[in-house]
Structure 1
Amino acid sequence: MRAIGYKLGSALLLAAMYALIKSLGSRYPIGEIVFARSGFALLPIIVVMLARRQWSTLRTSRPFAHLRRSVAGVVSLFLSFGAVALLPLSTATALTYSAPLFITLLSIIVLGERVSTGRWAAVLIGFAGMLMVIQPDLEAGLPLGKVLGVMAAVATAVALVAIRQMAASESALAIAFYFTLFGTVVGAASLPLRCVAPDASDALRLVSVGVLGGMAQLLLTMAYRLAPASVLAPYEYATLVGAILVGFIVWDEMPGSVEWLGIAVIVGANVGMTAHEQARARRARLGSTSGRAPE
């Protein structure tokens, strides 16, 4: 129950973070927002490390693996923040949930994994749902915000595959720390190009974006330390629900009928993919305990 609570808390904090980013609109360059998101996110991470005296977890023999993960993660931040600024909150958030579809493709290319027919079917259905959300117009072209949202999902998938490759040797705190530190450096490097001095209200929002992002990251880490992914999977879409509610309450935004259908298809495809993989894992365990190969 604690793990589920952490997972839901993380989801709600992320929804609030994206709402704050949207409220900042286009008044601030994305690099400045990335700097705030990363720089102030370091605060809760450092507090946890001090409280637990876990500085030793930062030692690593794989600096380039951290660099690959951090580059992909920071690119995802730039793209997703751009999508949030240009799209309704629900649409931008829904597009991020196409990341697991791209993870399947990357798992074949990068990790050499074999993908079952059932998982391929879920991926194809999910991509159909993504097209419903995007609603491409061949004459007018694709809206920039939706292009950014899809590209953010691809970058997120690359980052998650990189994390999967590092998970056996690197701690979750180290992965979060180096990613956040890298985002701070990149965001700071963009400030000389364009920077807008915020007023008191916006300064508070920028600080809150970072603190909420850092807290969400830590809660997610603690959730997955206490419970397996299969237990937490049903709560994966709390951020999407929160984004839809915030978008409706604050900006009177609601997805159109086709977008609703696309969101439902993407979520259904991801849920189906998760259920299929869990069923295969159970059959494998049963097959190993009975001495037979799984069907």
Structure 2
Amino acid sequence: MRPLRGIAFKLASVLVFIVMASMIKSTADHVPAGQTVFFRSFFAIPVIFVWLAVRRELPGGLKTANPFGHFWRGLMGTLAMGFGFAGLGYLPLPEVTAIGYAAPILTVVFAAMFLGEEVRLFRISAVAMGMVGVMIVVYPRLTVLSGDAAGYLEAFGAMVVLGGAVFASLAQVFVRRLVNTEPTAAIVFYFSLTATALSLITIPFGWVWPTLGEAAILVGAGLLGGVGQILLTSSYREADASLVAPFDYASMIFALGIGYFVFAEVPTLPMLAGAALIVTAGILIIWRERQLGLERTRQRKAMTPQG
């Protein structure tokens, strides 16, 4: 285990994904979200494939005992990606990032519902705090009664991004099931493959012919998506998940910077306050997961016969 290297990989992945999101945002006014999902997924496949080949995880690393599990994880992940990309066309980048933080909080709820994981008062309180933060971020956008066209679009965008967070949390639940039987290489690869195939279903809903500049940006976003996935996976190889997971929230710093300097997006006080609550709740959940993991480890050691 090399914790500093793991943290470095994690921060690099967070930066790469935010840059990727900003590239996608720059094309969102013209290119439909489904078409963007195709570029993001399809052009990530060669990067991931080369990485797996270098690690000598081909073809053995792609064997699967649960193809339907990969399909459902891919479906939820594709919907999350599509909703998130669509939201970038309606809301500032930092706001989309903040609402997206609801995903790991909702994962606690869905893991209890579908995986039977026990959720005690501490995590219930953290989830409640996180959801209050989400409502603080979303509430100013819910201006549907104002009769203002921009207000309608912003409210729609907020709901779309929140829907993406719901699907992202469901995708994480499927990942938790898959890791019990599937190698990481298979989970990474088949997600990109499934998302590419599913994105083609959206062709009848209005794909466009992108300009040369837009095509270059979208291809670049796809390649960055593959690189980001490799960096993310590598971070968890180098350090404990409980150590590197909190660095996900560094994405808010990057999003604020890119939003301000690239898109001239000035963050509002409610957005910052809500994001602070969501981040605090997320870190508390991660801390609690670590404590429970240490407790389970101690119990296993206590039950192991001593030779």
TM bracket (short chain): over 0.9
**1:90/1:254 contact within 8 Å kept:** no
CA apart distance, 1:138: 7.1
Is 2:235 the counterpart of 1:223? Answer: yes
**1:37/1:209 contact within 8 Å kept:** yes
CA apart distance, 1:284: 4.6
- Residue of structure 1 aligned with 2:106, choices 95, 102, 107: 102
Q: 1:100-134 CA distances to partner (integer Å, 9 max, x unpaired)?
A: 12111111110011101010000001110000000
Q: Which residue of 1 aligns with 2:190?
A: 178
CA apart distance, 1:283: 4.3
Runs of 4+ in structure 1 deviating by more than 3 angstroms, as ranges, are 136-142, 280-291
- Residue of structure 2 aligned with 1:206, choices 199, 205, 218: 218
Q: Which residue of 1 aligns with 2:207?
A: 195
Which SS does the other structure have where 1:85 is aligned?
A: coil
What is the Cα-based RMSD across aligned positions, in Å?
1.7
**2:32/2:86 contact within 8 Å kept:** no
Which SS does the other structure have where 1:71 is aligned?
A: helix
**2:37/2:195 contact within 8 Å kept:** yes
CA apart distance, 1:25: 2.5
Instruction: Report the identity percentage.
Output: 33
Q: TM-score, normalised to structure 1's length?
A: 0.93
Give the direction of change, closer, same or farther, for the CA distance of 1:261–1:193 in structure 2 (3 Å limit): closer
**Match for 1:146: what amino acid?**
A
Is 2:27 the counterpart of 1:24? Answer: yes
Unpaired runs of 5+ residues, structure 1, are: none
Q: Which residue of 2 aligns with 1:43?
A: 46
State the aligned residue count.
Answer: 291
Q: Which residue of 2 aligns with 1:260?
A: 272
Q: TM-score, normalised to structure 2's length?
A: 0.90
**Match for 2:241: what amino acid?**
A
Unpaired runs of 5+ residues, structure 2, are: 147-151
CA apart distance, 1:160: 0.5
**2:41/2:196 contact within 8 Å kept:** yes
CA apart distance, 1:178: 0.8
- Residue of structure 1 aligned with 2:289, choices 270, 277, 281: 277
Give the direction of change, closer, same or farther, for the CA distance of 1:200–1:182 in structure 2 (3 Å limit): same
Q: Which residue of 1 aligns with 2:257?
A: 245
Which SS does the other structure have where 2:116 is aligned?
A: coil
Give the direction of change, closer, same or farther, for the CA distance of 1:287–1:67 in structure 2 (3 Å limit): closer
Question: Which residues in structure 2 correspond to 1:58-137 (within 5 Å)?
Answer: 58-135=62-139, 136-137=142-143
